[in-house]
Copies of this chain bind each other. A is one copy, B any other.
Amino acid sequence: MKNRVITISREFGSGGRTIGRETARKLNIPCYDQELIQHLAAESGFTEEYVKEQGEYAPYSGWLNALTGRTNGLTNQDHLWVLQRRIILDLAEKGPCVILGRCADYILRDSADCLTAFIHADMARRARRIVEVYGQREEAPEKRLRDKDKRRASYYQFYTDTAWGDARNYHIALDSGVLGIQRCVDILAQLF
């Protein structure tokens, strides 16, 4: 029998990570996020920081990426994708869990009994949240959000060939800004 897994894709600053963790805690199952990055770092030999960035975001310049970091025609990012895919399949095999981001919804579509969720919120709410959680940076929060969104969407599109954030790719999509984080947790836990 396939394990029940919740995958959470999220816009940067939407509180998706908190929702994933809280849902897992409520259901008493593991939530893979940082742990997944550590696995990937250990197996690939790259640093955690590098894995975090390259395993979910398209590079700043596709053109530059086309020329650098290639072995046998694969980019570092392609290598990470292959590893990431295998680790996510293994984790889902181990037992029920919550998996954050990293195209897990797409990777597990045929191999787990998935509930796939997408968490989003409007720009103003996310801008406030990233300043609260990650602090001020030189760059305006709106600029940081737009950049992250764009690169995450582009990464997702490249490896899954479907549109990130299209409601039809997820079983449930929630606006955490309007509904509130706790309500999102309650709905997901209830649907599990």
> Which residues of A line the B interface, CB within 8 A?
11, 118, 120, 165-168, 170-175, 178-179, 183, 187, 191
Contact for A171 among B118, B165, B174, CB less than 8 A: B174
On whether A171 and B167 interact (CB within 8 A), knowing A183-B191, A187-B187, A191-B183, the answer reads no
Q: Closest residue of chain B to A178, judged by CB?
A: B171
12 A-B residue pairs with Cβ-Cβ distance under 8 Å, sorted by A, are A120-B167, A165-B167, A165-B168, A167-B167, A168-B175, A171-B174, A171-B179, A172-B172, A172-B173, A172-B175, A173-B173, A183-B191
Interface SS, A side: mixed
Q: How far is the CA of A170 from the CA of B170 in the complex (A)?
A: 13
Query: Chain B residues near A168 (CB, 8 Å)?
Result: 11, 120, 165, 175
Number of copies: 2
Q: How far is the CA of A179 from the CA of B170 in the complex (A)?
A: 11
Q: How far is the CA of A173 from the CA of B183 in the complex (A)?
A: 15
Q: How far is the CA of A161 from the CA of B39 in the complex (A)?
A: 43
Contact for A167 among B118, B178, B183, CB less than 8 A: B118
Q: How far is the CA of A173 from the CA of B171 in the complex (A)?
A: 8
Q: Closest residue of chain B to A175, judged by CB?
A: B171
Query: Chain B residues near A171 (CB, 8 Å)?
Result: 174-175, 178-179
The interface centre, meaning the residue of A166, A168, A170, A191 with most chain B CB atoms within 10 A of its CB, is A168
Q: Closest residue of chain B to A122, judged by CB?
A: B168
The 6 closest A-B pairs by CB, nearest first: A167-B173, A173-B173, A167-B167, A171-B175, A171-B178, A120-B168
A118-B173, A165-B166, A167-B173 provided; 16 other pairs, C-beta below 8 A?
A11-B168, A118-B167, A165-B167, A165-B168, A167-B167, A167-B170, A170-B173, A170-B175, A171-B174, A171-B175, A171-B178, A171-B179, A172-B173, A172-B175, A173-B173, A187-B187
